[in-house]
Amino acid sequence: AQSVTQLGSHVSVSEGALVLLRCNYSSSVPPYLFWYVQYPNQGLQLLLKYTSAATLVKGINGFEAEFKKSETSFHLTKPSAHMSDAAEYFCAVRGGKLIFGQGTELSVKP
């Protein structure tokens, strides 16, 4: 069975600082992994996805994530945070269903 754990329900960074949102997964088969962003009262927007091609995946808005099989991780990073990055971020793994982590709220301080 697949599962996802996001470490840290809330992360706060200063504008211009590195963003690191952690995600660890459990899967008995090669996983499909996703990061989504959700702004208040909106649906989910796909940031990036891993589908067993390149382990370093680049997404929209300057985000990227690296698939590390040995660590069962798929952490999301962005070199320089912007105020507009403040949102809820969800990591997800696709098995038979799409299974979401609990989410990490990112705050960006000016």
Partner 1 sequence: GAVVSQHPSWVICKSGTSVKIECRSLDFQATTMFWYRQFPKQSLMLMATSNEGSKATYEQGVEKDKFLINHASLTLSTLTVTSAHPEDSSFYICSASGDRAAYEQYFGPGTRLTVT
What's 31's DSSP letter? P
Q: Which residues, in sequence order, are bridge partners of residue 99?
A: 93
Instruction: Give the per-residue contact string, 37-66, with partner 1 (x = CB under 8 A; - = no).
Output: ----xxxxxx--x-x---------------
Tokens 């301080």, located at residue: 109
- H/E stretch holding 34 reads strand 32-38
**103 near partner 1, judged by CB under 8 A:** yes
Q: Which is nearer to partner 1, 72 or 94 (CB)?
A: 94
Q: β-strands 10-14, 104-109: how paired?
A: parallel
Number of residues that bind partner 1 (CB under 8 A): 19
Touching partner 1, residues 64-93 (CB under 8 A): 90
The answer to the question of residue 35 lying near partner 1 (CB under 8 A) is: no
Residues that bind partner 1 (CB under 8 A): 32, 36, 41-46, 49, 51, 90, 94, 97-98, 100-103, 105
